[in-house]
Structure 1
């Protein structure tokens, strides 16, 4: 418990330190860009973005990071910083686990099947899981927007020890459902973030297509966008570069490449359709930018994805999509955390800019890096 508290305190200190660092960087760069805006070039903007990424990675004690910015005109900046694994630097081809950003991919796959008439958002859970609580009233829509009320065992304190105790175990949906407790509330009576809904959606996708979730995701989303460096992370494709997960296991400040020291099977399979998509920063940015600019979903399905419900924290949530307000900007996307990885991906609708930051750091909020890169991207001419 003491190690956990020390680690938590250290994380808070890092976040505060990083906030003030990024604020200082953005002020300096903004002043510079204001003074000499007419003389700016893409080269200056590229260097400025790299300064932010390098400074933030160092300040937040992140081992490795990759970032991608896609501008309104579809031009792209990519930046990398630090190590992907011991002795190997992050490259633009390095992939990271996306954590809960995966929910956008799963939701998009569901909405593709809705467009084909193979699913209906009003379909009841009872069709596939008659023994689950409130299955006769819970709908696919409620699974997508976290208003279903089903308990999430992944958020319980005893779940990580269960994973660590059997690191080679391949977790199934049945394994997770047996760990479920009583629902948080009746369907539609509240909002509670729960990975359970997206695990169930993955099983429904498999049931209606008679295929694996990985294959359907690839067919419905990845291949059409030519996202060759994105995959469902329950398995590792040969020839791909995957960053190693770094974790401070004892709360001592000493980061270890833990996914090289023990099997990662249990972590990845337990994340499932709720959090096990793996991607490079550029692939993830192209997916999100395509989604936001209308090249992934038809208008009817996009409207369904952005049918917002209120969260208790003041944010809004759609079908696997988070809607936040940051310094007057409305951003759509998602944050993501999995064991040894932290990520953030957002699109600014007013500016038409998409930014993704991926890291091999554990339990770090990297969204401040995204918002700082966004500020720089929209203040310095490209």
Structure 2
């Protein structure tokens, strides 16, 4: 028979267990409130300053994800931004182009040392054939420009453009950020796999990364979630397909999916062995950009850690984004690293930052293009504030 004393003791244990659970819940709630406050203080002023309709911010901190949504995905429909909202990633898409190429390299379908005529014999003996795939991927071909000339639109015109291209610098000596460069790399990668580039991402790469709401071509049933971007005149816009646009800036995604992707990079052992190696390979730096503190990895821009907000901002200066910058091959790798990437289309802005040593990641998605410097400054401010707390 259970005594009265035993019943009382059991009641006290249950009460204190409940009290402990409540304290834990309150602590979690307070932590979420603190992070929400820090994120809002850093990013909400940017929405107000640039009259941005909506924004999604995700934080990875102490092993947990935090999501915060602001504003609307379309002013016309007044639908709030949420976890299903699809944003254009702009040049953040280049990370997935790098992932797909690294995957093909590890599968033996390509080699980064290959020259381009191996996949397009029509380029044999052209100057572009002196460039290898790694140099295309890292923007170190010599002087491929930021964009194609306006008359280049069709596959035939793209091929003619590359056949007639003339180098200003030896390959592997200068970095010049270029959509045609990495776009052509993606095109040749998909060709080596005998599939269109969009299919390579949507049917092979995204599923292996557990990205269930990330697309090149937004399905009809998902268009209700596809945000409108707003251009400089505050008109609703979406990205217009252009030459090699899928490969250079064509991916659309949600905040939860992008947080999953950052987590996959922070926690490499949670991936399949094949994808773990792919992601690890994209973290390797290849070319150090002179006087910048930045090393070009595969898709990612890489820095030694600790770093500063000013160094990260300088990597997106006008000279680095639009100029030709001398590089040296990176033979050593820093023990601790920082990775980031910005992306924009006419109506959208995106930014990803992660620091493996701190287990920290941040994703910013916005349906307005705002200056890269402001995104970086706000993101690093969040990191520094959380680190000091």
Q: TM-score band, normalised by the shorter chain?
A: 0.7 to 0.9
1:246 aligns with 2:230: yes
Q: Return the TM-score normalized by structure 1.
A: 0.75
Greater RCO, 1 or 2 (C-alpha within 8 Å, sep 6+): 1
What is the alpha-carbon distance in structure 2 between the residues aligned to residue 316 and residue 275 of structure 1?
Answer: 21
1:368 aligned onto 2:377:
yes
Q: Which residue of 1 aligns with 2:286?
A: 308
Partner of 1:53 in structure 2?
43
Q: How does 1:226-375 map to 2 (within 5 A)?
A: 226-233=210-217, 235-240=218-223, 241-249=225-233, 255-259=234-238, 264-266=239-241, 271-294=245-268, 295-296=270-271, 297-299=275-277, 302-303=280-281, 305-312=283-290, 313-324=292-303, 325-327=307-309, 330-365=337-372, 366-375=375-384
Q: Deviations over 1:273-322 (max 9, x none)?
A: 11111111221122133124324544476246413311244421111111
Q: Secondary structure at the match of 1:230?
A: coil
Shift in Å, 1:90: 1.4
Unaligned runs of 5+ residues in structure 2 are: 1-26, 313-336
Contact 1:66 1:79 in 2 (8 A): yes
Inter-partner Cα distance in structure 2 for 1:266 and 1:299: 32
Contact 2:230 2:237 in 1 (8 A): yes
Give the structure 2 partner of residue 110 of structure 1: 101
Deviation at 1:178, TM superposition (A): 4.5
Unpaired runs of 5+ residues, structure 1, are 1-36, 164-170, 250-254
Query: Cα distance, 1:130 vs. partner?
Result: 4.1
Contact 1:68 1:281 in 2 (8 A): yes
**Aligned pair count?**
321
Q: Using the alignment, how far apart are the partners of 2:69 and 2:207 within structure 1?
A: 25
Aligned to 1:137: 130
When the two chains are superposed, the root-mean-square deviation of aligned CA atoms in Å is 2.9
Q: Distance in 2 between matches of 1:315 and 1:155?
A: 25
SS in 1 for 2:344: strand
1:151 paired with 2:141, answer: no
Q: For the residues of structure 2 that align with 1:189 and 1:306, how far apart are their CA atoms?
A: 18
Seen in structure 2, the aligned counterparts of structure 1 residues 265 and 63 have a Cα distance that, compared at 3 Å, is same
Secondary structure at the aligned position of 1:151 is classed as: coil
Larger-gyration structure (1/2)? 2
Deviations 1:92-112 (A, max 9, x none): 211111111111111111111
Instruction: Kindly state the Cα deviation for residue 359 of structure 1 after the two structures are TM-superposed.
Output: 1.0
Secondary structure at the aligned position of 1:62 is classed as coil
> Cα distance, 1:358 vs. partner?
0.9
Q: Distance in 2 between matches of 1:172 and 1:72?
A: 48
- C-alpha distance in 2 between matches for 1:318 and 1:76: 26
Q: Which moved more, 1:41-50 or 1:204-213?
A: 41-50
Residue 79 of structure 1 corresponds to: 68
Instruction: Give secondary structure in 2 for the equivalent of 1:154.
Output: coil
Alpha-carbon distance, 1:256 to partner: 1.7
Distance of aligned partners of 1:376 and 1:317 in 2 relative to their CA distance in 1, 3 Å threshold: same
